[in-house]
Amino acid sequence: MTRTGTGTGLTLAAALLACGAASADPEEGAYRSPEAFGEALFFDVNLSKPRTQACATCHDPGHAFTDPRPTLAGRAVSLGADGQSLGDRNAPTAAYARFSPPFGQRADGTYVGGQFHDGRAAGLAEQAAGPPLNPIEMGLADVDEAAARILENPRYDATLSALY
Ligand code: HEC
C-alpha cells in the first residue's frame, strides 16, 4: 500500500471512529433509537416474573438466537423462567423473523409467513407480546405487570417519552 493510501485509510478510520463515538448510546438517560431500546429490552431479565429470564435467554445471540440449554426433555423444548416449566417447543432462531411476511395462503394452497412455527402471530408486535405473559415462559401476570416492569426502569421511562 502506498503512503498516500495508508494516510487515506487512517483518515477514514478516524472519521469512522469519531462517527461511532458520536452515535454511541449514552450510559444513562433515554436510549437514542428504537433499535437500542429494543436491544436493551431483549436482554432484560426483569421482564420475567422471577427476574431470571430475558428474550436472549432462549434466543441466545451466541447460538444464532436459538436456545442451547439442556432440559429434562433434552433440547426438544425451551425452559421457562421458573427453571422447571417446559415449553411445547424449542426456540427457533429469532434472527430473521422480521423478514417473514404476514401469515397467509398462496394460490396453490401452501401457507406462508406469520410468526411461530404455526404462524399464529401475524407479525412481530403480536409475537413479542406473547413470551412475557406466557406462564411457562416469562410468566408475568398481565399487561399491567409488564408495563410496571418497564416503567420501573428510569431509562425505559425516559425513552418512551423521548422516542414515542
Ligand atoms: C422460554 C423461552 C423463550 C423466551 C423467554 C422467549 N422466546 Fe421467543 N420463542 C420461543 C419458542 C419456544 C418459540 C417457538 C414457539 C412456537 O412456534 O410455538 C419462540 C418463537 C419466537 C419468534 C418467532 C420466530 C419465527 O420465525 O417464527 C420470535 C420472533 C421470538 N420468539 C422472539 C422473542 C422475543 C422478542 C422474546 C422476548 C420478549 C422471546 N422470544 C422470549 C422461546 C422463547
Whose alpha carbon is nearest atom 3 of ligand 1? 58
Whose alpha carbon is nearest atom 11 of ligand 1? 91
Whose alpha carbon is nearest atom 23 of ligand 1? 116
Domain 30-163 has CATH 1.10.760.10: yes
Positive or negative: CA dihedral 8, 11, 13, 19:
negative
pTM, two decimals, is: 0.84
Ligand 1 pocket member 71 (CB < 6 A): no
In this prediction, residue 11 carries a pLDDT of 55
Give the per-residue SS3 of 28-53.
Answer: CCCCCCHHHHHHHHHCCHHHCCCCCC
Ligand 1 pocket member 57 (CB < 6 A): yes
Ligand 1 pocket member 127 (CB < 6 A): yes
Ligand 1 pocket member 80 (CB < 6 A): yes
Q: How many whole angstroms from 13 Cα to the centroid of ligand 1?
A: 38
For residue 38, CA distances in Å to 43, 107, 158 come to 9, 36, 14
Catalytic residues: 137
* Position 92, amino acid: P
For residue 164, CA distances in Å to 2, 28, 36, 156 come to 49, 18, 14, 11
Sorted by where each begins, the domain ranges of the chain are 30-163
CB 120 within 8 A of CB 134: no
In the predicted model, residues of the chain with pLDDT beneath 50 are: 1-7, 13, 15-22
Report how many helices (DSSP H) and strands (DSSP E) the chain contains, helices first. Answer: 7, 2
C-alpha triplet 135, 139, 144: angle, nearest 5°: 115
C-alpha cell at 55: 428474550
Provide the Cα torsion 156, 160, 161, 164; round to 10°. Answer: 160
The CA distance from 115 to 92, in Å, is 10
Q: How many whole angstroms from 12 Cα to the centroid of ligand 1?
A: 40
Ligand 1 pocket member 138 (CB < 6 A): yes
Ligand 1 atom closest to Cα of residue 98:
29
80-128 pLDDT per residue, tens: 999 989 988 999 999 999 999 988 899 999 999 999 988 889 888 899 8
Residue 69's closest CA among 84, 61, 58, 85?
A: 58
Q: How many whole angstroms from 56 Cα to the centroid of ligand 1?
A: 9
